Structure 1
Amino acid sequence: MCGKIAFATLYCALLLNFSTYICLLDWYEFFTTLSLIDLNKEYKFDYIIVGGGTAGSILAFRLSQNPNNKVLLLEAGSMGKSSILDIPLITPLLHKSIYDWKYRTVPQDNACWAFKDNSSSWPSGKVLGGSGRLNHMLYTRGHPDDYKEWFIDCDCDFNYEQEILYYMKKSENQVGSQSNNEYYHGRGGTLIVDDMVYQSELYDSIFNAANCLNLPIRDVNGKFSSGFSPIQINIKNGKRFTPIHHLLQNQQPNLVIKTQSTAKEILLNANLEAYGVNFIKSGDKYDVFASKGVIISSGTIGSPKLLMLSGIGPKKHLQSIGIKSKLDLPVGYNLQDHISTGFDLIIFEEPLDFHKKFVSPLEVLKYILKENGILTSVGVEVLAFLNTFCLENVIGYDLCEAEFNHRPNIEFLFMQAGLATDYGMRMRHIVGLKSVVWKEYYSKFVNNYTASFLPILLRPKSRGYVKLKNSKIDSKPIINPNYLSEKDDINILLAGIRFIKKLVETPPMRKIGARFNREIFPFCKTFTFDSDDYWKCYIKYMSFTIYHPVGTCKMGSFSDESAVVTRDFKVKGAKKLYVVDASVIPKLISANTNAAVAMIAEKAADSIKMSEVSSKKMCKAQPICN
């Protein structure tokens, strides 16, 4: 008991000091940038990029490599200079901080019932580096057929190696165990990829359990896209390393970066040609102008918001909130997201190494001196991409995938902790858990050692939307992912829970004292525990985002009425206006999305350069499979 009291006291002190520190840091950055807001001598550029996340950082780097291009990168958030922000283990503490837009969905009819207002928190990076500074740094690419679906309406022969793999490799700087696999992995890109430094006893146990179930273990970013795999992450010397870190280390004099600068409107002339951006900084408005193009890279929520505020979006919706429609396009529709369930469904008889060292002062010292230890952990050591049909097929997993052409439809993240690990001090508030759910269910596990093996729905059928609440720049948009509105989605998550239970019952997992949590979720007690109806009830309550929203500025052919941008990333019907980020992804991939966004940015950079050459009539740019 004394140890737990000491833990609670130390953890509270760390939380308080951390929150105070980042608030002071943000104010310091605000005041030190006040002197940098004069643009009277610097308001004309070749390219303006709105949003300094993964895509915006890569575009800024690539376009500024040409010394003749003058490039402006606008970011609504602060610089986020402190290296403390790049300690991997503190990632959850950045959620709901000043570096987060703190979005929330509207109440969900079929999901998120255990969370406040029956809605889901949607963290999104409000800092230079974007959501790449808030995510869990996992590098996964997805299945080739995921990308083939992006070109399904394309009158061309899709070539994965040319259209996707080439740009995956170009964006990657693989320095880990796969660095010699040159066919599938790249060196020298802006997105560094390395192996995880920290490993607990859970690492070997998960792989041994997979072996017991005759499931493959391999690099899921190589020849195969399924199986169990050690995680690959964006880390360098024990710290988060993203494209913005690379950009700042290699910034050219022809690139100007303005932080704490919120884009208010895209400037369009009568011919719908983008010629600049109006933005707000410190309460003042500024106009900056671009001769070659305006590129919107503000993310799946921010990009459609800015387009609609500028008069580009569904005509009826814009008119209903008093915005003059300039271009009628389905902006904001086609919203998709990866959803998960299953916090604290695993209990251990004895603490794992992670539980013992969670807030150990010795681990802090180890991190400072050696850049290793538990602080380099992202909370996940192993992941798996699997197909639920092939998990039940007797012919063997790989043979099933090949025979029936099945790609993964579910991901598993094997996390060493749960909502009860920190005694309810922080994590339950970050995810927005209702107090009654904590009191009646999760509080029972504070004296246990829990873990979360999360099943993640990879290719949801449910679709949602983003709309504006009003015409004000500082109003949060209306976000409705329509989670679990399609019954197939909940059935796949149910199959995921069944598999987790099967995995935990293997000898390697029993050997480290793991067991499946049989505590009845009180809000589903009318159903028999472990029945399908019970778990469907549980999933509807305990469903939450995995932070991969896409699709609100869908990419497609010009004739596709559901598309907002064409495959050269140009907004349909507009000129010199591009959207490049996760919002253009037409259909979710079978993986985390950051690697795909980096690939898209590299692809867009080449496409924009081709357009520039074409406009000079030096040669005719070839369309990218359009």
Structure 2
Amino acid sequence: MLGGCSSINSMMYTRGNPEDFNEWARMGCENWDWDTVYPYFLKSEGYEGPELSDPNFAAYHNTEGPMKVTKQRFNDPNVDLKLDVLLQSLQEIGINSIEDYNGPTQFGISRGYFMHSAPPGVRSSTAECFLRGGRGGGQGGGGAGGGLHVLKHALATRVLLRGAAAVGVELTRHNKTLHVFATKEVILSAGAIGTPRLLLASGIGRRDDLERLNVKQIVDLPVGYDLQDHLIVPIAFTGAPTSFVDQQNPNPKYSLDYFPYPRLNGFFSVSDWSRPQLQLSPYYFNQSSPLVFKALNNSLNYVEGVVEPIQKANADSEIFMMCLILLHPKSRGRIVYHSVDPLAAPDIYLGYLTHDDDLSIMREGIKKMLRLTESRYFSGWGARAVRLQLPTCAGLEYGSDEYWECYALALARTVWHQAGTARAGGAGGVLDAALRVRGLQRLRVVDASALPAMPSGNTHATVMMLAERAADLIKEEYYG
């Protein structure tokens, strides 16, 4: 998945804000407060960044964990210069530069490149850093003491229950149905979209949903509800005349140094300073290129009326695209399955911006970005926000609050951070604080569907922390 505001999001390493996890504890997830979970973030991390020379930042990182975390590097000093200009411009509108958003403070935008789990050569995925030569395993040896067995070409279809206890999993493999039994418990890790299907297919869910699937209800729980996601809205600004064009070879450059990756990452608020409300991922387009279309159309599915004005502006001017991510949506969506067939696609109702507070925060975030045109650099070039062709907003006064709300509704897209569809904690949670399915024994969920609420940043590091903590909870339960 390359390009647009979605680039390498799944690899970005952002822990979130301490208040995120204190909120989890207030929601009924005992022992998921910041002081409890922080060591689990460190447990996985094998940091290789430059901050380690400064003891003020080294204390916030671990160098010994299996998951390698580093910073993105590019080899274009001209682009680096432009990013420095952008940092100065953001400083002028109240978003300060910081060294490490996983350090003492999260508010601000990183001076260096963003942190991610993809060191040069290979992504530090869970398979690479935990199974292949990682803890308890060695090449091909599996996890703890070689006790992990991965069955390829298999698809889980439901949890096998005996009374109120999970005893195994039904799966299909090479057109055959197989039953695999558990000696202690079953752990589901099929993600925010897949885990609800497995639970519903097993009789765990709301009566109406199970009747539609012709499945007998075993436990009444709100499976598939409470869908949360980080949504993203971009706004593009012109800058200096198009630069870095090779006069002897005017064809657009295709190297990755000219591909619009996010190179900075920041966090700010418009009304609540207990934790960030918005994440900021700026992208820089230094010259007109077909890659711009691929970034915006292929990745985010924007239509020509959105992409063409940006391409046209980029033919004459550099483009700074400021991507705003709503961190703590109050809006909720839902996943609806119409079949227990594991290959059947569900209906996904995202519910973006259906809560007035979400729309207000995004509107005010856009208005804050518009102040960039008043900064020294941007005003010097007569910068403007690129006006897009948005038919749904045609009758509104351009630049009004109503227009920017319509703009946000028209351009909101997913960052692929779906979570909460089998959430833990609270009276309406599917799971208890130990991630066990309520009303059943021997069944646990460990994936993004269990998140009680969204973190202030990309979900990757938070899900890794969840898994590290779940491993300890399981060991404590069975081995003391």
TM-score (norm. length: structure 2): 0.85
The Cα shift of 1:446 comes to 6.3
| Match for residue 45 of structure 2 among 165, 168, 172 | 172
Residues 136, 578 of structure 1: CA spacing in aligned structure 2 closer, same or farther, 3 A cutoff?
closer
Q: Over residues 544-573 of structure 1, what are the superposed CA-to-partner deviations in whole Å (9 max), with x where a residue is unaligned?
A: 1122111111111xxx43111111111112
| Residue identity opposite 2:2 in structure 1 | P
1:568 matched to 2:434? The reply is: yes
1:527 matched to 2:374? The reply is: no
CA contact (8 A) 1:179 1:186 kept: no
The Cα shift of 1:431 comes to 2.4
1:386 matched to 2:259? The reply is: no
The Cα shift of 1:432 comes to 2.6
SS at match of 1:292: coil
Q: Separation in 1 of the partners of 2:365 and 2:436?
A: 39
SS at match of 1:600: helix
Q: Over residues 356-396 of structure 1, what are the superposed CA-to-partner deviations in whole Å (9 max), with x where a residue is unaligned?
A: 999857x5xxxxxxxxx739x88111111111137xxxxxx
Q: Separation in 2 of the partners of 1:178 and 1:150?
A: 29
| Match for residue 471 of structure 2 among 586, 600, 605 | 605
SS at match of 2:264: strand
- Aligned match of 2:257: 374
Q: Over residues 389-410 of structure 1, what are the superposed CA-to-partner deviations in whole Å (9 max), with x where a residue is unaligned?
A: 37xxxxxxxxxx4xxxx32111
- Aligned match of 2:16: 142
- The 5 A counterparts of 1:118-517 are 135-154=9-28, 160-161=34-35, 163-179=36-52, 181-198=57-74, 200-201=79-80, 202-218=82-98, 219-229=100-110, 230=112, 231-246=114-129, 247-250=131-134, 251=137, 252=141, 253-270=146-163, 272-346=164-238, 348-351=240-243, 360=253, 363=255, 374=257, 379-389=261-271, 401=273, 406-417=274-285, 422=291, 424-425=293-294, 427-434=296-303, 441=309, 444-445=312-313, 447-448=315-316, 449-509=318-378, 515-517=383-385
Q: Separation in 2 of the partners of 1:295 and 1:287?
A: 15
> Equivalent pairs: percent with the same residue?
27
Residues 155, 267 of structure 1: CA spacing in aligned structure 2 closer, same or farther, 3 A cutoff?
closer
- Aligned match of 2:424: 555
The Cα shift of 1:450 comes to 3.2
SS at match of 2:335: strand
The Cα shift of 1:424 comes to 3.3
Q: Separation in 1 of the partners of 2:233 and 2:48?
A: 33
| Residue identity opposite 1:498 in structure 2 | K
Bigger shift: 240-249 or 445-454? 445-454
SS at match of 1:431: coil
Q: Over residues 576-603 of structure 1, what are the superposed CA-to-partner deviations in whole Å (9 max), with x where a residue is unaligned?
A: 2110111111111221111111110100
Residues 420, 565 of structure 1: CA spacing in aligned structure 2 closer, same or farther, 3 A cutoff?
farther
- Aligned match of 2:458: 592
| Residue identity opposite 1:264 in structure 2 | T
| Residue identity opposite 2:51 in structure 1 | Q
Q: Separation in 2 of the partners of 1:138 and 1:283?
A: 38
Residues 326, 503 of structure 1: CA spacing in aligned structure 2 closer, same or farther, 3 A cutoff?
same
The Cα shift of 1:141 comes to 1.2
The Cα shift of 1:412 comes to 0.7
Q: Separation in 2 of the partners of 1:542 and 1:514?
A: 25
The Cα shift of 1:442 comes to 5.2
CA contact (8 A) 1:379 1:417 kept: no
The Cα shift of 1:429 comes to 3.5
Q: Which runs of 5+ in 1 are unaligned?
A: 1-90, 96-122, 124-132, 364-372, 391-400, 615-626
Residues 264, 445 of structure 1: CA spacing in aligned structure 2 closer, same or farther, 3 A cutoff?
farther
Residues 433, 383 of structure 1: CA spacing in aligned structure 2 closer, same or farther, 3 A cutoff?
same
Q: Separation in 1 of the partners of 2:442 and 2:251?
A: 50
Residues 186, 193 of structure 1: CA spacing in aligned structure 2 closer, same or farther, 3 A cutoff?
same
- The 5 A counterparts of 1:92-131 are 92=2
CA contact (8 A) 1:337 1:548 kept: yes
The Cα shift of 1:292 comes to 1.8
Residues 357, 461 of structure 1: CA spacing in aligned structure 2 closer, same or farther, 3 A cutoff?
farther
Q: Which runs of 5+ in 2 are unaligned?
A: none
Residues 569, 156 of structure 1: CA spacing in aligned structure 2 closer, same or farther, 3 A cutoff?
closer
Q: Separation in 2 of the partners of 1:385 and 1:431?
A: 22
CA contact (8 A) 1:315 1:327 kept: no
CA contact (8 A) 1:334 1:586 kept: no
Q: CA RMSD in A?
A: 3.1
Q: Separation in 2 of the partners of 1:242 and 1:157?
A: 27
- Aligned match of 1:30: none
